[in-house]
Amino acid sequence: MNKTSVKERRVHERHAINVTLQGTPDQGGIVARMIASNLSLGGLYCTSNSDFPEMTRLAVRLMLPMDQSETGSEPVDLEAVVVRREKSRSTNGNPRYDIALYFTNVDPSAHDQLKRYLNHRSG
């Protein structure tokens, strides 16, 4: 099978970013600070100091820059599930995790905020 015959499974275009977010498991407890490296309307990829097993449901607060100066940010609240996680290189002896999140049950206003932000980055 050659590379051109492999079908891309992603529905939404990914955008390289560097924004912060917080994730809190549904059962409560830890509020983890994470850094997203790419974002789409369907999910994001981030790094975290906290480990969340696959299929963990998270309440996510994504802090999107409000303008090109990126001095202020606008919170976007979403629900997500961990679809992939890998332990990555430690920094200063602290473990880090690469985590892929899939957005679930996205509120229409949050969807609109994400769409505006991603369209602005594309245009």
Residue 5 φ/ψ, nearest 5 degrees: -90, -5
The H or E element spanning position 55 is: none
pLDDT in tens, 17-39: 999 999 999 887 789 999 999 99
Please give the domain boundaries of the chain with CATH numbers for all domains: 12-117 (2.40.10.220)
Between CA 79 and CA 113 the distance in angstroms is 14
pLDDT in tens, 54-73: 999 999 999 988 765 556 78
Residue 21 φ/ψ, nearest 5 degrees: -150, 165
User: What is the pTM (predicted TM-score) of this model?
Assistant: 0.83
Between CA 113 and CA 64 the distance in angstroms is 9
32-39 and 15-25: which strand pairing? Answer: antiparallel
Apex CA 45: angle with CA 41 and CA 51, to 5°? 130
